[in-house]
């Protein structure tokens, strides 16, 4: 009897578990499915933005120095001398070749014309008949003109106003350094000196002159870069007069004698300095 009840209990338990499993399966079937969010669309990989390359400024070649110009002129004259010496006679081609070489050497139209006109007259008078004699005469004429130049430094102690010396020349000739040497020499002679920084074109020219003024013990008047050089020189002369300074050394920007505008500017500097 007891065994029968045991079988009944076991059967009931099995049936109960099976029913529970069936109910569980049904409940799982009947349970609404949870909506699944759609996957976001695949975003394209970001494209790196490349900044445009910054153009590098081209290197600006420094202006040729005085020695470079001399070497260039020497090369030009050496070439034309060889060409003229190979000629058998002096003709129009000879004059054209000489004129071109002298202009390329930056002698300027005025000087070139003056030298060649003098030689043409001598050729017409039969003083010069050979190309070799023509080259020699040209050299001697050029040397004699340089020899006649007055290179002395004139200081008028009875002037009553400051003496004014302008430093002029081509780029790279050493104007600023020469000005400093002259200042040291004049101060050693017991004269008071003021430097006027009239080179307002070259970068740091004013700073360079100020350094020389400090080293030599000279006074200095400067202007802003790009300022009118005439006004700087005028202020320098006025300052020297007010302080009873003996000598004004005025620096100027380098220039070629063939540049008409820059030569006119130099004439203006001189006029203003004389009026000051």
Q: For residue range 171-228, what is the model confidence (pLDDT) as tens digits?
A: 888 889 999 999 999 999 999 999 999 999 888 888 999 999 999 999 999 988 888 9
What is 163-275's CATH superfamily? P-loop containing nucleotide triphosphate hydrolases (3.40.50.300)
Given a cut of 70, whether residue 147 has pLDDT beyond it is yes
Residues 6+ apart with CB under 8 A from 273: 164, 166, 233, 234, 237, 248, 250
Given a cut of 60, whether residue 260 has pLDDT beyond it is yes
Per-residue pLDDT of 76-100, as tens digits, reads 778 878 888 888 899 999 999 999 9
Per-residue pLDDT of 13-70, as tens digits, reads 444 444 444 444 444 445 455 555 555 555 566 656 555 655 555 555 566 676 777 7
Q: How far is CA 164 from CA 11, 126, 249, in A?
A: 136, 47, 6
113 band by pLDDT with thresholds 50, 70 and 90: very high
**Which of the four CATH numbers 1.20.120.140, 3.30.1490.20, 2.40.40.20, 2.40.33.10 does domain 66-147 have?**
1.20.120.140
Q: Which is it for the CA torsion 154, 157, 159, 165, positive or negative?
A: positive
pLDDT score of 136: 92
Q: Kind of pairing, strands 163-167 and 219-221?
A: unpaired
Mean pLDDT of 233-244: 94
Given a cut of 90, whether residue 250 has pLDDT beyond it is yes
| Predicted model pTM | 0.53
pLDDT score of 4: 45
Mean pLDDT of 151-174: 86
Q: How far is CA 262 from CA 187, 248, 258, 269, in A?
A: 31, 22, 9, 11
CATH 1.20.120.140 segments of the chain? 66-147
pLDDT score of 52: 61
């Amino acid at each position: 009897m007891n065994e029968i009840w045991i079988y009944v209990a076991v059967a009931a338990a099995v049936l109960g578990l099976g029913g529970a499993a069936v109910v569980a399966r049904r409940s799982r079937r009947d349970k609404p499915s949870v909506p699944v969010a759609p996957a976001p669309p695949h975003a394209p990989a970001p494209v790196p933005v490349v900044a445009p390359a910054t153009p590098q400024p081209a290197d600006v070649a420094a202006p040729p120095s005085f020695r470079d110009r001399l070497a260039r002129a020497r090369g030009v004259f050496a070439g034309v001398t060889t060409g003229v010496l190979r000629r058998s006679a002096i003709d129009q081609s000879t004059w054209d070749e000489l004129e071109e070489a002298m202009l390329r050497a930056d002698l300027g139209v005025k000087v070139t014309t003056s030298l060649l006109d003098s030689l043409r007259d001598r050729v017409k008078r039969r003083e010069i008949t050979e190309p070799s004699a023509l080259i020699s005469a040209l050299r001697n004429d050029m040397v004699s003109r340089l020899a006649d130049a007055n290179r002395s430094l004139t200081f008028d102690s009875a002037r009553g106003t400051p003496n004014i010396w302008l430093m002029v020349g081509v780029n790279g000739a050493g104007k600023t350094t020469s000005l400093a040497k002259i200042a040291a020499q004049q101060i050693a002679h017991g004269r008071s000196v003021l430097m006027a920084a009239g080179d307002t074109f070259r970068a740091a020219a004013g700073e360079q002159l100020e350094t020389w003024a400090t080293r030599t013990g000279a006074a200095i008047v400067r202007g802003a870069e790009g300022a009118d050089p005439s006004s700087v020189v005028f202020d320098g002369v006025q300052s020297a007069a007010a302080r009873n300074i003996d000598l004004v050394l005025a620096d100027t920007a380098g220039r070629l004698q063939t540049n008409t505008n820059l030569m006119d500017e130099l004439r203006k500097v001189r006029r203003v300095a004389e009026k000051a």
